[in-house]
Amino acid sequence: MASKDPRLARQLGVFDATMIVMGGIIGSGIFINSYVVARQVHTPFLILGAWLAGGAVALLGAFIYAELADRYPNVGGQYAYLREAYHPSIAFIYGWALLLVIQTGGMAAVAITFSRYFLEITHAPWSAPAVATLALGLLTIVNCLGVRAGTSVQNTLMALKIVAILALVGCGMFFVGAPHGVIGPALDQPFSLSLLTAMGAAMTPVMFAYGGWQTASFVAGEMREPRRDLARGLLIGVCGVVVLYLAVNFVYLYALGPRELAATETPASSVMRLAFGERGATLIALGVAISTLGFLSQGMLTAPRVYFAMAKDGLFFKSVAWLDPRTRVPVLAIALQGVLAVVIAVSGRYEQILNYVVSVDFIWFGLTAASLFVFRSRTLNRETNLVSGGFRVPGHPVTTGLFVAACALTVLSTIYKYPHNSAIGIGIVVAGIPAYFFWRWWGRK
**Structural domains in the chain plus CATH codes:** 14-443 (1.20.1740.10)
In the prediction, which pLDDT does 389 show?
52
* 223 backbone dihedrals φ, ψ, rounded to 5°: -95, 140
Query: Which are the contacts of 18, defined by CB distance < 8 A and separation ≥ 6?
Result: 232, 233, 236, 237, 240
Whole-angstrom Cα Rg for the chain: 22
Looking at the predicted structure, is the pLDDT value of residue 212 above 70? yes
Number of CB atoms found within 10 A of residue 300's CB: 27
Contact 75, 312 (CB under 8 A): yes
Which band of pLDDT confidence, cut at 50, 70 and 90, is reported for residue 51?
Answer: very high
Query: Average pLDDT of 43-69?
Result: 92
User: Tens digit of pLDDT for each residue in 319-374?
Assistant: 999 998 998 899 999 999 999 999 988 887 766 666 666 678 888 999 999 999 99
How far apart, in whole angstroms, are the C-alpha atoms of residue 295 and residue 136?
Answer: 11
Instruction: State the greatest distance between any 2 C-alpha atoms of the chain, in Å, as a whole number.
Output: 72
CA torsion sign for 18, 24, 30, 35 is: negative
Task: Find, among 438, 435, 385, the residue nearest to 72 by Cα.
Answer: 385
User: Tens digit of pLDDT for each residue in 117-175?
Assistant: 999 888 889 998 999 999 999 999 999 999 889 999 999 999 999 999 999 999 999 99
Lowest mean pLDDT among 16-30, 257-271, 272-286, 337-351: 337-351
User: Tens digit of pLDDT for each residue in 2-22?
Assistant: 445 677 778 889 999 999 999
In the prediction, which pLDDT does 350 show?
67
In the prediction, which pLDDT does 400 show?
95
Which long-range contacts does 413-420 make (Cβ < 8 Å, 24+ apart)? Answer: 413/200, 413/201, 413/203, 413/204, 414/204, 414/358, 414/359, 414/362, 415/359, 417/201, 417/204, 418/355, 418/358, 418/359
How far apart, in whole angstroms, are the C-alpha atoms of residue 41 and residue 48?
Answer: 10
Task: Find, among 189, 249, 220, the residue nearest to 54 by Cα.
Answer: 249
* 311 backbone dihedrals φ, ψ, rounded to 5°: -65, -40
In the prediction, which pLDDT does 358 show?
67
In the prediction, which pLDDT does 1 show?
39
Is pTM beyond 0.75? Reply is yes
How far apart, in whole angstroms, are the C-alpha atoms of residue 327 and residue 329?
Answer: 6
Which band of pLDDT confidence, cut at 50, 70 and 90, is reported for residue 187?
Answer: confident
